[in-house]
A = this chain, B = another copy of it.
Amino acid sequence: MLWSGWGDPGRAAPLPEPVAGLLRDMLGVRPAERPPAALADVEVPGCRLGDGELTALAKIVGDSNVRADTETRVRHTRGKSTPDLLRIRAGETADAPDAVVLPGSHDEVLAVLRSCAERRIAVVPFGGGTSVVGGLAPSLDGTVGGRGDGAGAGAFIALDLRRMDAVVSVDETARTAVLQPGLRAPAAEARLGERGYTLGHFPQSFEWASIGGFAAARSSGQASAGYGRFDDMVVGLTAATPEGTFDLGRAPKSAAGPDLRQLVLGSEGAFGVITSVTVRIHPVPEAREYEGWRFASFGEGAAALRRLAQDGPLPAVLRLSDETETMVGLADPAAIGTPGRGAEEGAGQAGAAGCLAVLGFEGTARRVAERRAEAADVLRAAGGEPLGTGPGEKWEHGRFNAPYLRDALLDAGAFVETLETAAFWPDIPRLYDAVRSALIGALSGGGTPPLLMCHISHVYPSGASLYFTVVSAQGADPVAHWDTAKRAANDAIIDAGGTISHHHGVGTDHRDWYAREIGPLGAAVLRAVKERVDPAGILNPGVLIPLAAEE
Protein backbone atom coordinates (compact mmCIF):
# COMPACT_ATOMS: atom_id res chain seq x y z
CA MET A 1 0.00 0.00 0.00
CA LEU A 2 1.33 3.40 -1.00
CA TRP A 3 2.05 5.18 2.30
CA SER A 4 0.72 8.53 1.08
CA GLY A 5 -1.99 7.38 -1.29
CA TRP A 6 -3.88 4.31 -2.40
CA GLY A 7 -2.90 0.82 -3.22
CA ASP A 8 -0.12 -0.69 -5.29
CA PRO A 9 2.39 2.03 -6.19
CA GLY A 10 3.10 0.15 -9.43
CA ARG A 11 -0.43 0.89 -10.61
CA ALA A 12 -0.16 4.64 -10.16
CA ALA A 13 -0.45 6.57 -13.40
CA PRO A 14 -0.48 10.29 -14.13
CA LEU A 15 -3.64 11.92 -15.44
CA PRO A 16 -3.87 11.95 -19.21
CA GLU A 17 -3.08 15.45 -20.50
CA PRO A 18 -6.60 16.00 -21.94
CA VAL A 19 -8.05 15.39 -18.49
CA ALA A 20 -5.55 17.68 -16.81
CA GLY A 21 -6.36 20.29 -19.43
CA LEU A 22 -10.07 19.95 -18.80
CA LEU A 23 -9.54 20.35 -15.06
CA ARG A 24 -7.55 23.51 -15.71
CA ASP A 25 -10.18 24.94 -18.02
CA MET A 26 -13.31 23.86 -16.16
CA LEU A 27 -12.32 24.01 -12.52
CA GLY A 28 -9.24 26.22 -12.45
CA VAL A 29 -7.06 23.39 -11.17
CA ARG A 30 -3.40 24.40 -10.93
CA PRO A 31 -0.48 22.07 -10.19
CA ALA A 32 0.28 21.84 -6.48
CA GLU A 33 3.05 24.18 -5.42
CA ARG A 34 4.82 21.69 -3.24
CA PRO A 35 5.48 18.06 -4.21
CA PRO A 36 4.50 15.42 -1.66
CA ALA A 37 7.00 14.65 1.05
CA ALA A 38 9.27 11.63 0.60
CA LEU A 39 8.77 8.83 3.08
CA ALA A 40 12.42 8.98 4.14
CA ASP A 41 11.98 12.63 5.12
CA VAL A 42 8.86 12.18 7.22
CA GLU A 43 9.34 12.32 10.96
CA VAL A 44 7.01 11.25 13.76
CA PRO A 45 6.57 12.65 17.27
CA GLY A 46 8.57 10.97 20.01
CA CYS A 47 7.08 7.71 21.31
CA ARG A 48 5.13 8.39 24.50
CA LEU A 49 5.42 4.81 25.67
CA GLY A 50 8.23 3.88 28.03
CA ASP A 51 10.36 0.74 27.86
CA GLY A 52 8.26 -0.85 30.58
CA GLU A 53 5.09 -0.43 28.60
CA LEU A 54 6.60 -1.70 25.38
CA THR A 55 8.10 -4.67 27.23
CA ALA A 56 4.75 -5.55 28.77
CA LEU A 57 3.19 -5.61 25.30
CA ALA A 58 6.11 -7.58 23.87
CA LYS A 59 5.62 -10.19 26.57
CA ILE A 60 2.13 -10.80 25.21
CA VAL A 61 2.71 -10.77 21.46
CA GLY A 62 6.48 -11.36 21.13
CA ASP A 63 9.31 -8.86 20.62
CA SER A 64 9.03 -8.75 16.84
CA ASN A 65 5.36 -7.86 17.04
CA VAL A 66 5.76 -4.57 18.87
CA ARG A 67 7.10 -1.99 16.46
CA ALA A 68 7.93 1.63 17.05
CA ASP A 69 10.11 2.42 14.04
CA THR A 70 9.26 5.55 12.09
CA GLU A 71 8.16 3.90 8.85
CA THR A 72 5.77 1.52 10.61
CA ARG A 73 4.31 4.37 12.61
CA VAL A 74 3.89 6.53 9.50
CA ARG A 75 2.19 3.69 7.67
CA HIS A 76 -0.37 3.42 10.48
CA THR A 77 -1.13 7.13 10.63
CA ARG A 78 -4.77 7.94 9.94
CA GLY A 79 -6.70 6.42 7.04
CA LYS A 80 -7.45 7.12 3.41
CA SER A 81 -9.83 10.06 3.27
CA THR A 82 -8.62 12.87 1.05
CA PRO A 83 -7.81 15.10 4.03
CA ASP A 84 -5.87 12.13 5.47
CA LEU A 85 -3.87 11.90 2.25
CA LEU A 86 -3.31 15.64 1.93
CA ARG A 87 -1.99 15.77 5.46
CA ILE A 88 0.28 12.77 5.14
CA ARG A 89 1.56 14.03 1.78
CA ALA A 90 2.52 17.22 3.64
CA GLY A 91 4.42 15.13 6.17
CA GLU A 92 1.92 15.77 9.00
CA THR A 93 2.15 12.86 11.45
CA ALA A 94 0.72 14.27 14.64
CA ASP A 95 -1.76 11.37 14.70
CA ALA A 96 0.89 8.65 14.38
CA PRO A 97 0.50 5.81 16.85
CA ASP A 98 3.21 5.55 19.47
CA ALA A 99 3.69 1.92 18.55
CA VAL A 100 2.15 -0.76 16.40
CA VAL A 101 1.26 -4.06 18.05
CA LEU A 102 0.49 -7.21 16.06
CA PRO A 103 -1.43 -9.80 18.09
CA GLY A 104 -1.69 -13.38 16.85
CA SER A 105 -4.84 -14.64 18.54
CA HIS A 106 -8.04 -13.71 20.37
CA ASP A 107 -6.31 -14.38 23.68
CA GLU A 108 -3.44 -12.09 22.76
CA VAL A 109 -5.91 -9.36 21.84
CA LEU A 110 -7.65 -9.83 25.20
CA ALA A 111 -4.32 -9.62 27.04
CA VAL A 112 -3.22 -6.53 25.11
CA LEU A 113 -6.51 -4.79 25.89
CA ARG A 114 -6.24 -5.61 29.58
CA SER A 115 -2.67 -4.46 29.71
CA CYS A 116 -3.52 -1.22 27.92
CA ALA A 117 -6.56 -0.64 30.14
CA GLU A 118 -4.36 -0.91 33.23
CA ARG A 119 -1.86 1.51 31.76
CA ARG A 120 -4.37 3.91 30.14
CA ILE A 121 -2.96 3.35 26.68
CA ALA A 122 -5.51 3.89 23.92
CA VAL A 123 -5.95 1.13 21.33
CA VAL A 124 -6.93 1.71 17.71
CA PRO A 125 -7.75 -1.52 15.85
CA PHE A 126 -6.12 -1.49 12.40
CA GLY A 127 -7.24 -3.79 9.61
CA GLY A 128 -6.73 -2.58 6.08
CA GLY A 129 -6.21 1.00 7.18
CA THR A 130 -8.77 2.20 4.65
CA SER A 131 -11.11 4.26 6.86
CA VAL A 132 -12.28 7.44 5.13
CA VAL A 133 -14.12 8.87 8.16
CA GLY A 134 -11.34 9.37 10.66
CA GLY A 135 -11.80 5.93 12.17
CA LEU A 136 -8.07 5.58 12.82
CA ALA A 137 -7.49 8.98 14.40
CA PRO A 138 -8.44 8.81 18.06
CA SER A 139 -9.05 11.88 20.18
CA LEU A 140 -6.22 11.95 22.66
CA ASP A 141 -6.46 14.76 25.12
CA GLY A 142 -4.73 13.04 27.99
CA THR A 143 -8.07 12.06 29.43
CA VAL A 144 -8.55 8.56 28.15
CA GLY A 145 -11.33 7.08 30.23
CA GLY A 146 -11.86 10.45 31.83
CA ARG A 147 -8.73 9.96 33.91
CA GLY A 148 -5.44 11.36 32.71
CA ASP A 149 -3.46 9.76 35.48
CA GLY A 150 -2.14 6.60 33.85
CA ALA A 151 1.45 6.11 32.82
CA GLY A 152 0.53 5.86 29.17
CA ALA A 153 -2.05 8.66 29.17
CA GLY A 154 -2.10 10.42 25.83
CA ALA A 155 -0.38 7.52 24.08
CA PHE A 156 -1.99 5.04 21.73
CA ILE A 157 -1.10 1.92 19.87
CA ALA A 158 -2.36 0.74 16.52
CA LEU A 159 -3.49 -2.86 16.96
CA ASP A 160 -2.63 -4.23 13.53
CA LEU A 161 -4.54 -7.47 13.00
CA ARG A 162 -2.64 -8.66 9.92
CA ARG A 163 -1.29 -11.76 11.68
CA MET A 164 -4.85 -12.92 12.36
CA ASP A 165 -5.57 -13.67 8.73
CA ALA A 166 -6.84 -17.25 8.72
CA VAL A 167 -9.82 -18.84 7.07
CA VAL A 168 -10.47 -20.78 10.26
CA SER A 169 -13.07 -23.11 8.79
CA VAL A 170 -15.53 -23.53 5.97
CA ASP A 171 -18.86 -25.23 6.62
CA GLU A 172 -20.35 -26.39 3.36
CA THR A 173 -23.57 -27.54 5.03
CA ALA A 174 -24.31 -24.20 6.68
CA ARG A 175 -22.67 -22.33 3.78
CA THR A 176 -20.65 -20.31 6.26
CA ALA A 177 -16.98 -19.64 6.90
CA VAL A 178 -15.19 -18.49 10.04
CA LEU A 179 -12.74 -15.75 9.13
CA GLN A 180 -10.19 -13.85 11.18
CA PRO A 181 -10.28 -10.06 11.15
CA GLY A 182 -6.89 -9.36 9.59
CA LEU A 183 -7.68 -11.36 6.48
CA ARG A 184 -7.71 -9.06 3.47
CA ALA A 185 -10.64 -9.33 1.10
CA PRO A 186 -8.63 -10.56 -1.93
CA ALA A 187 -7.05 -13.33 0.17
CA ALA A 188 -10.45 -14.31 1.52
CA GLU A 189 -11.83 -14.53 -2.01
CA ALA A 190 -8.82 -16.48 -3.23
CA ARG A 191 -8.96 -19.03 -0.44
CA LEU A 192 -12.72 -19.46 -0.54
CA GLY A 193 -12.51 -19.57 -4.32
CA GLU A 194 -10.23 -22.60 -4.15
CA ARG A 195 -13.19 -24.41 -2.61
CA GLY A 196 -15.70 -23.00 -5.05
CA TYR A 197 -17.11 -20.24 -2.84
CA THR A 198 -17.26 -16.46 -2.71
CA LEU A 199 -18.29 -13.91 -0.10
CA GLY A 200 -19.72 -11.70 -2.82
CA HIS A 201 -18.41 -8.64 -0.98
CA PHE A 202 -16.72 -6.16 -3.31
CA PRO A 203 -16.58 -2.62 -1.94
CA GLN A 204 -14.37 -0.10 -3.69
CA SER A 205 -11.79 -0.67 -0.94
CA PHE A 206 -11.76 -4.39 -1.81
CA GLU A 207 -8.10 -4.63 -2.72
CA TRP A 208 -6.88 -3.51 0.71
CA ALA A 209 -9.71 -3.71 3.22
CA SER A 210 -9.94 -6.43 5.86
CA ILE A 211 -12.69 -8.70 7.11
CA GLY A 212 -12.60 -7.14 10.57
CA GLY A 213 -12.95 -3.68 9.08
CA PHE A 214 -15.93 -4.76 7.00
CA ALA A 215 -17.65 -5.96 10.16
CA ALA A 216 -16.63 -3.12 12.45
CA ALA A 217 -17.74 -0.45 9.98
CA ARG A 218 -20.79 -2.14 8.37
CA SER A 219 -19.30 -2.21 4.91
CA SER A 220 -21.53 -2.62 1.87
CA GLY A 221 -20.14 -3.97 -1.39
CA GLN A 222 -20.98 -3.18 -4.97
CA ALA A 223 -22.94 -6.42 -5.28
CA SER A 224 -25.02 -5.74 -2.17
CA ALA A 225 -28.29 -6.27 -4.00
CA GLY A 226 -27.29 -9.85 -4.72
CA TYR A 227 -25.21 -10.87 -1.73
CA GLY A 228 -26.29 -8.41 0.95
CA ARG A 229 -24.33 -5.96 3.04
CA PHE A 230 -21.52 -7.28 5.20
CA ASP A 231 -23.65 -6.87 8.33
CA ASP A 232 -26.26 -9.09 6.67
CA MET A 233 -23.63 -11.73 5.95
CA VAL A 234 -22.42 -12.07 9.54
CA VAL A 235 -24.26 -14.79 11.47
CA GLY A 236 -21.77 -15.07 14.33
CA LEU A 237 -18.85 -13.20 15.82
CA THR A 238 -16.37 -13.05 18.65
CA ALA A 239 -14.92 -9.83 20.01
CA ALA A 240 -12.43 -9.07 22.74
CA THR A 241 -12.93 -6.21 25.18
CA PRO A 242 -11.02 -5.14 28.28
CA GLU A 243 -13.89 -6.66 30.27
CA GLY A 244 -14.11 -10.01 28.50
CA THR A 245 -15.33 -11.70 25.38
CA PHE A 246 -18.43 -11.49 23.21
CA ASP A 247 -19.31 -14.82 21.58
CA LEU A 248 -22.55 -14.27 19.73
CA GLY A 249 -24.66 -16.10 17.16
CA ARG A 250 -26.16 -19.57 17.70
CA ALA A 251 -28.61 -19.42 14.83
CA PRO A 252 -29.19 -17.35 11.72
CA LYS A 253 -32.00 -15.53 13.52
CA SER A 254 -33.41 -15.70 17.01
CA ALA A 255 -36.08 -14.22 19.26
CA ALA A 256 -33.75 -14.49 22.23
CA GLY A 257 -33.63 -10.82 23.09
CA PRO A 258 -32.09 -7.94 21.18
CA ASP A 259 -29.70 -8.97 18.39
CA LEU A 260 -26.41 -8.24 20.12
CA ARG A 261 -24.48 -9.06 16.95
CA GLN A 262 -25.96 -5.87 15.55
CA LEU A 263 -24.62 -3.96 18.54
CA VAL A 264 -21.02 -5.07 17.90
CA LEU A 265 -21.26 -4.72 14.12
CA GLY A 266 -20.73 -1.06 13.35
CA SER A 267 -19.10 -0.34 16.70
CA GLU A 268 -15.86 0.64 14.93
CA GLY A 269 -13.55 -0.63 17.64
CA ALA A 270 -15.22 1.40 20.36
CA PHE A 271 -16.91 -1.66 21.94
CA GLY A 272 -14.11 -4.15 21.37
CA VAL A 273 -11.93 -5.79 18.78
CA ILE A 274 -13.68 -8.24 16.50
CA THR A 275 -11.53 -11.37 16.49
CA SER A 276 -13.58 -13.60 14.20
CA VAL A 277 -16.74 -13.54 12.16
CA THR A 278 -18.88 -16.37 10.87
CA VAL A 279 -20.13 -15.23 7.49
CA ARG A 280 -22.36 -16.61 4.78
CA ILE A 281 -20.62 -17.86 1.65
CA HIS A 282 -22.02 -18.60 -1.81
CA PRO A 283 -21.02 -20.89 -4.64
CA VAL A 284 -18.93 -19.00 -7.18
CA PRO A 285 -21.51 -18.00 -9.78
CA GLU A 286 -21.55 -20.00 -12.96
CA ALA A 287 -22.38 -16.93 -15.02
CA ARG A 288 -21.85 -13.17 -14.69
CA GLU A 289 -23.44 -10.71 -17.09
CA TYR A 290 -23.11 -6.94 -16.77
CA GLU A 291 -24.98 -4.49 -18.92
CA GLY A 292 -25.83 -0.81 -19.28
CA TRP A 293 -29.14 1.01 -19.60
CA ARG A 294 -29.82 4.65 -20.29
CA PHE A 295 -32.57 6.71 -18.63
CA ALA A 296 -33.65 10.20 -19.56
CA SER A 297 -33.16 11.52 -16.04
CA PHE A 298 -31.91 10.53 -12.60
CA GLY A 299 -35.48 10.55 -11.31
CA GLU A 300 -36.70 8.25 -14.06
CA GLY A 301 -33.76 5.90 -13.51
CA ALA A 302 -34.30 5.89 -9.75
CA ALA A 303 -37.94 4.96 -10.25
CA ALA A 304 -36.83 2.03 -12.42
CA LEU A 305 -34.35 0.85 -9.78
CA ARG A 306 -37.09 1.08 -7.20
CA ARG A 307 -39.30 -1.18 -9.32
CA LEU A 308 -36.57 -3.83 -9.39
CA ALA A 309 -35.87 -3.46 -5.66
CA GLN A 310 -39.53 -3.80 -4.74
CA ASP A 311 -40.91 -6.28 -7.25
CA GLY A 312 -37.79 -7.88 -8.68
CA PRO A 313 -35.98 -9.38 -10.32
CA LEU A 314 -33.06 -7.92 -8.41
CA PRO A 315 -29.64 -8.13 -10.07
CA ALA A 316 -26.51 -8.64 -7.93
CA VAL A 317 -25.22 -5.19 -8.94
CA LEU A 318 -27.58 -2.28 -9.53
CA ARG A 319 -26.37 1.30 -9.85
CA LEU A 320 -27.38 4.53 -11.51
CA SER A 321 -25.23 7.58 -12.22
CA ASP A 322 -26.77 11.03 -12.33
CA GLU A 323 -26.50 13.22 -15.41
CA THR A 324 -23.15 14.75 -14.45
CA GLU A 325 -21.50 11.48 -13.47
CA THR A 326 -22.79 9.90 -16.65
CA MET A 327 -21.41 12.75 -18.72
CA VAL A 328 -18.04 12.75 -17.04
CA GLY A 329 -17.74 8.99 -17.33
CA LEU A 330 -15.46 9.03 -14.34
CA ALA A 331 -14.64 5.37 -14.69
CA ASP A 332 -12.80 6.13 -17.91
CA PRO A 333 -10.83 9.32 -17.34
CA ALA A 334 -9.21 9.03 -20.75
CA ALA A 335 -12.62 9.73 -22.24
CA ILE A 336 -13.02 13.01 -20.41
CA GLY A 337 -12.72 15.82 -22.87
CA THR A 338 -13.26 13.65 -25.89
CA PRO A 339 -16.98 14.01 -26.38
CA GLY A 340 -18.53 11.43 -28.60
CA ARG A 341 -16.05 8.73 -27.81
CA GLY A 342 -18.31 7.13 -25.24
CA ALA A 343 -21.29 7.44 -27.53
CA GLU A 344 -19.39 5.82 -30.36
CA GLU A 345 -18.79 2.86 -28.10
CA GLY A 346 -22.43 2.78 -27.22
CA ALA A 347 -21.31 3.38 -23.67
CA GLY A 348 -23.88 6.04 -22.98
CA GLN A 349 -21.29 8.03 -21.12
CA ALA A 350 -19.32 11.01 -22.30
CA GLY A 351 -21.31 13.06 -24.71
CA ALA A 352 -24.48 11.10 -24.21
CA ALA A 353 -27.51 12.64 -22.62
CA GLY A 354 -29.31 11.03 -19.72
CA CYS A 355 -28.22 8.73 -16.93
CA LEU A 356 -26.34 5.45 -17.11
CA ALA A 357 -27.50 2.46 -15.08
CA VAL A 358 -25.32 -0.63 -14.66
CA LEU A 359 -26.87 -4.00 -13.87
CA GLY A 360 -24.88 -7.11 -13.02
CA PHE A 361 -26.53 -10.53 -12.94
CA GLU A 362 -24.78 -13.46 -11.25
CA GLY A 363 -25.82 -17.07 -10.70
CA THR A 364 -26.59 -20.11 -12.75
CA ALA A 365 -26.58 -19.49 -16.47
CA ARG A 366 -30.30 -20.26 -16.61
CA ARG A 367 -31.27 -17.86 -13.85
CA VAL A 368 -29.03 -15.11 -15.17
CA ALA A 369 -30.69 -15.36 -18.56
CA GLU A 370 -34.19 -15.47 -17.07
CA ARG A 371 -33.65 -12.59 -14.69
CA ARG A 372 -31.92 -10.46 -17.27
CA ALA A 373 -34.85 -10.88 -19.63
CA GLU A 374 -37.39 -10.19 -16.92
CA ALA A 375 -35.48 -7.12 -15.70
CA ALA A 376 -35.32 -5.84 -19.26
CA ASP A 377 -39.11 -5.88 -19.43
CA VAL A 378 -39.29 -3.87 -16.21
CA LEU A 379 -36.67 -1.35 -17.30
CA ARG A 380 -38.15 -0.86 -20.75
CA ALA A 381 -41.56 -0.24 -19.18
CA ALA A 382 -39.87 2.33 -16.94
CA GLY A 383 -38.43 4.22 -19.91
CA GLY A 384 -34.98 2.61 -20.08
CA GLU A 385 -32.98 2.12 -23.26
CA PRO A 386 -30.68 -0.91 -23.37
CA LEU A 387 -27.01 -0.17 -24.11
CA GLY A 388 -25.77 -3.76 -24.22
CA THR A 389 -22.98 -5.33 -22.22
CA GLY A 390 -20.29 -2.77 -23.15
CA PRO A 391 -20.93 -0.21 -20.40
CA GLY A 392 -21.50 -2.96 -17.83
CA GLU A 393 -18.23 -4.71 -18.58
CA LYS A 394 -16.38 -1.43 -18.66
CA TRP A 395 -17.74 -0.57 -15.23
CA GLU A 396 -16.83 -3.98 -13.87
CA HIS A 397 -13.33 -3.74 -15.30
CA GLY A 398 -12.67 -0.39 -13.63
CA ARG A 399 -14.62 -0.95 -10.43
CA PHE A 400 -11.64 -0.65 -8.06
CA ASN A 401 -9.84 2.13 -9.95
CA ALA A 402 -11.32 5.28 -8.44
CA PRO A 403 -8.89 5.49 -5.50
CA TYR A 404 -5.95 5.27 -7.92
CA LEU A 405 -7.49 8.01 -9.98
CA ARG A 406 -7.76 10.12 -6.86
CA ASP A 407 -3.99 9.92 -6.37
CA ALA A 408 -3.44 11.12 -9.91
CA LEU A 409 -5.92 13.96 -9.41
CA LEU A 410 -4.24 15.04 -6.18
CA ASP A 411 -0.87 14.95 -7.96
CA ALA A 412 -2.33 17.18 -10.65
CA GLY A 413 -3.47 19.72 -8.06
CA ALA A 414 -7.14 18.79 -7.99
CA PHE A 415 -9.18 18.08 -4.89
CA VAL A 416 -11.40 15.00 -5.03
CA GLU A 417 -13.45 13.43 -2.26
CA THR A 418 -16.60 11.39 -1.78
CA LEU A 419 -19.41 11.21 0.77
CA GLU A 420 -22.54 9.14 0.96
CA THR A 421 -25.88 8.68 2.69
CA ALA A 422 -29.10 6.70 2.41
CA ALA A 423 -32.79 7.32 2.99
CA PHE A 424 -36.23 6.00 2.24
CA TRP A 425 -37.31 6.40 -1.39
CA PRO A 426 -39.66 9.37 -0.89
CA ASP A 427 -36.82 11.36 0.73
CA ILE A 428 -34.26 10.65 -2.00
CA PRO A 429 -35.01 13.62 -4.31
CA ARG A 430 -34.97 16.12 -1.46
CA LEU A 431 -31.80 14.59 -0.02
CA TYR A 432 -30.10 14.69 -3.42
CA ASP A 433 -30.93 18.35 -3.90
CA ALA A 434 -30.00 19.33 -0.35
CA VAL A 435 -26.57 17.73 -0.43
CA ARG A 436 -25.80 19.16 -3.87
CA SER A 437 -26.81 22.64 -2.80
CA ALA A 438 -24.76 22.42 0.37
CA LEU A 439 -21.61 21.24 -1.39
CA ILE A 440 -21.88 23.56 -4.37
CA GLY A 441 -22.65 26.51 -2.12
CA ALA A 442 -19.82 25.89 0.32
CA LEU A 443 -17.16 25.08 -2.27
CA SER A 444 -18.13 27.82 -4.71
CA GLY A 445 -18.30 30.30 -1.84
CA GLY A 446 -14.73 29.32 -1.02
CA GLY A 447 -13.57 30.05 -4.54
CA THR A 448 -13.35 26.49 -5.85
CA PRO A 449 -16.58 25.65 -7.64
CA PRO A 450 -16.84 21.89 -7.89
CA LEU A 451 -17.78 19.31 -10.42
CA LEU A 452 -20.35 17.29 -8.44
CA MET A 453 -21.45 13.82 -9.39
CA CYS A 454 -23.74 11.33 -7.72
CA HIS A 455 -24.86 7.75 -8.04
CA ILE A 456 -27.20 5.28 -6.41
CA SER A 457 -25.25 2.09 -5.74
CA HIS A 458 -27.25 0.24 -3.07
CA VAL A 459 -30.99 -0.32 -3.25
CA TYR A 460 -33.54 -1.77 -0.85
CA PRO A 461 -37.28 -2.21 -1.11
CA SER A 462 -37.85 0.87 1.04
CA GLY A 463 -34.92 3.10 0.06
CA ALA A 464 -31.48 3.59 -1.44
CA SER A 465 -28.05 5.11 -0.97
CA LEU A 466 -26.68 8.26 -2.59
CA TYR A 467 -22.93 8.53 -3.22
CA PHE A 468 -21.45 11.91 -4.13
CA THR A 469 -18.08 12.66 -5.72
CA VAL A 470 -16.64 16.16 -5.64
CA VAL A 471 -13.81 17.40 -7.89
CA SER A 472 -12.51 20.94 -7.60
CA ALA A 473 -9.35 22.95 -7.44
CA GLN A 474 -7.46 22.49 -4.19
CA GLY A 475 -7.34 26.15 -3.30
CA ALA A 476 -5.06 27.54 -0.64
CA ASP A 477 -6.04 25.27 2.26
CA PRO A 478 -7.98 22.31 0.89
CA VAL A 479 -8.26 20.48 4.23
CA ALA A 480 -9.95 23.43 5.97
CA HIS A 481 -11.95 24.26 2.88
CA TRP A 482 -13.29 20.73 2.60
CA ASP A 483 -14.03 20.64 6.30
CA THR A 484 -16.42 23.56 5.81
CA ALA A 485 -18.09 21.95 2.82
CA LYS A 486 -18.33 18.56 4.48
CA ARG A 487 -19.98 20.05 7.55
CA ALA A 488 -22.53 21.77 5.34
CA ALA A 489 -23.21 18.48 3.58
CA ASN A 490 -23.56 16.64 6.89
CA ASP A 491 -26.05 19.23 8.12
CA ALA A 492 -27.98 18.89 4.88
CA ILE A 493 -28.08 15.11 5.19
CA ILE A 494 -29.43 15.17 8.72
CA ASP A 495 -31.90 17.99 7.98
CA ALA A 496 -33.22 16.16 4.90
CA GLY A 497 -33.84 12.92 6.82
CA GLY A 498 -30.89 10.87 5.60
CA THR A 499 -28.50 8.73 7.61
CA ILE A 500 -25.06 10.22 8.11
CA SER A 501 -23.50 7.19 6.42
CA HIS A 502 -24.73 4.27 4.39
CA HIS A 503 -21.41 2.42 4.27
CA HIS A 504 -18.41 4.57 5.21
CA GLY A 505 -19.14 4.61 8.92
CA VAL A 506 -19.05 7.24 11.65
CA GLY A 507 -15.44 7.51 12.80
CA THR A 508 -14.57 10.89 14.22
CA ASP A 509 -15.71 12.82 11.14
CA HIS A 510 -19.42 11.98 11.46
CA ARG A 511 -19.73 11.65 15.20
CA ASP A 512 -21.54 14.91 15.91
CA TRP A 513 -24.12 14.31 13.18
CA TYR A 514 -24.52 10.71 14.27
CA ALA A 515 -25.53 12.08 17.66
CA ARG A 516 -28.30 14.06 15.96
CA GLU A 517 -29.35 10.99 14.01
CA ILE A 518 -29.83 8.68 17.01
CA GLY A 519 -30.96 11.34 19.47
CA PRO A 520 -29.93 11.87 23.08
CA LEU A 521 -31.32 8.56 24.33
CA GLY A 522 -29.58 6.57 21.60
CA ALA A 523 -26.34 8.34 22.41
CA ALA A 524 -26.79 7.73 26.13
CA VAL A 525 -27.32 4.02 25.51
CA LEU A 526 -24.12 3.79 23.49
CA ARG A 527 -22.20 5.53 26.25
CA ALA A 528 -23.66 3.10 28.79
CA VAL A 529 -22.50 0.13 26.72
CA LYS A 530 -19.10 1.73 26.18
CA GLU A 531 -18.63 2.32 29.91
CA ARG A 532 -19.49 -1.28 30.62
CA VAL A 533 -17.15 -2.96 28.12
CA ASP A 534 -14.40 -0.34 28.26
CA PRO A 535 -14.47 1.46 31.61
CA ALA A 536 -10.98 2.90 31.07
CA GLY A 537 -12.11 4.35 27.74
CA ILE A 538 -9.09 3.05 25.83
CA LEU A 539 -10.93 1.60 22.82
CA ASN A 540 -10.68 3.96 19.84
CA PRO A 541 -11.42 7.03 21.98
CA GLY A 542 -13.32 9.77 20.21
CA VAL A 543 -14.60 7.47 17.50
CA LEU A 544 -18.34 6.77 17.14
CA ILE A 545 -19.59 7.46 20.66
CA PRO A 546 -21.34 10.83 20.93
CA LEU A 547 -20.17 13.00 23.78
CA ALA A 548 -22.58 13.66 26.61
CA ALA A 549 -24.39 16.98 26.32
CA GLU A 550 -22.62 18.40 29.36
CA GLU A 551 -19.16 17.61 28.01
> This chain: how many copies in the complex?
2
Q: Are B254 and A218 in contact (CB under 8 A)?
A: yes
Q: Are B510 and A425 in contact (CB under 8 A)?
A: no
Q: Are A424 and B266 in contact (CB under 8 A)?
A: no
Question: Does chain B have a CB within 8 A of A1?
Answer: no
Q: In whole angstroms, how far apart are the Cα atoms of A386 and B94 in the complex?
A: 70
Task: Decide: A263 near B266, CB < 8 A? Known: A174-B426, A254-B502.
Answer: no
- Interfacial chain B residues near A268, Cβ < 8 Å: 257
- Interfacial chain B residues near A250, Cβ < 8 Å: 422-424, 497-499, 517
Q: In whole angstroms, how far apart are the Cα atoms of A271 and B525 in the complex?
A: 10
Q: Are A462 and B422 in contact (CB under 8 A)?
A: no
A223–chain B nearest beta-carbon distance, Å: 15
Complex interface residues of chain A between 250 and 292 (CB less than 8 A to chain B): 250-260, 262-268, 271, 280, 283
CB nearest neighbor in B for A232:
B253
Question: Does chain B have a CB within 8 A of A294?
Answer: no
- Interfacial chain B residues near A265, Cβ < 8 Å: 258-259
Question: Does chain B have a CB within 8 A of A404?
Answer: no
Question: Does chain B have a CB within 8 A of A40?
Answer: no
Q: Are B252 and A426 in contact (CB under 8 A)?
A: no
Question: Does chain B have a CB within 8 A of A171?
Answer: yes
Question: Does chain B have a CB within 8 A of A544?
Answer: yes
Question: Does chain B have a CB within 8 A of A398?
Answer: no
CB nearest neighbor in B for A511:
B257
- Interfacial chain B residues near A254, Cβ < 8 Å: 218, 422, 499-502
- Interfacial chain B residues near A426, Cβ < 8 Å: 171, 173-174
Q: In whole angstroms, how far apart are the Cα atoms of A504 and B174 in the complex?
A: 24
Find A266's partner among B171, B175, B255, B504 (CB 8 Å cutoff): B255
Find A525's partner among B174, B247, B421, B533 (CB 8 Å cutoff): B533
Task: Decide: A256 near B500, CB < 8 A? Known: A173-B426, A251-B423, A528-B531.
Answer: yes
Q: How many residues from A make CB contacts under 8 Å with B?
A: 83
Question: Does chain B have a CB within 8 A of A231?
Answer: yes
Find A235's partner among B271, B424, B504 (CB 8 Å cutoff): B424
Complex interface residues of chain A between 483 and 537 (CB less than 8 A to chain B): 497-506, 510, 514, 517-522, 524-529, 531-533
Choose, from A9-17, A97-105, A238-246, A469-477, the stretch at the interface: A238-246
Find A461's partner among B175, B247, B424 (CB 8 Å cutoff): B175
Find A262's partner among B252, B258, B528 (CB 8 Å cutoff): B258
Question: Does chain B have a CB within 8 A of A448?
Answer: no
Q: Are A176 and B462 in contact (CB under 8 A)?
A: yes
- Interfacial chain B residues near A501, Cβ < 8 Å: 254-256
- Interfacial chain B residues near A533, Cβ < 8 Å: 521, 524-525
A538–chain B nearest beta-carbon distance, Å: 16
Q: Are A255 and B503 in contact (CB under 8 A)?
A: yes
Q: Are B422 and A526 in contact (CB under 8 A)?
A: no
Question: Does chain B have a CB within 8 A of A229?
Answer: yes
Complex interface residues of chain A between 440 and 462 (CB less than 8 A to chain B): 458, 460-462
- Interfacial chain B residues near A229, Cβ < 8 Å: 253
A295–chain B nearest beta-carbon distance, Å: 18
- Interfacial chain B residues near A173, Cβ < 8 Å: 306, 425-426
Q: In whole angstroms, how far apart are the Cα atoms of A527 and B525 in the complex?
A: 11
Q: In whole angstroms, how far apart are the Cα atoms of A84 and B510 in the complex?
A: 49
Q: In whole angstroms, how far apart are the Cα atoms of A320 and B307 in the complex?
A: 33
CB nearest neighbor in B for A236:
B424
- Interfacial chain B residues near A461, Cβ < 8 Å: 175, 252, 280
CB nearest neighbor in B for A283:
B311
CB nearest neighbor in B for A306:
B173
Report 12 cross-chain contacts, Cβ distance below 8 Å, ordered by A residue. Answer: A173-B425, A175-B462, A218-B254, A220-B253, A244-B519, A244-B521, A248-B519, A250-B424, A251-B463, A255-B502, A255-B503, A256-B514
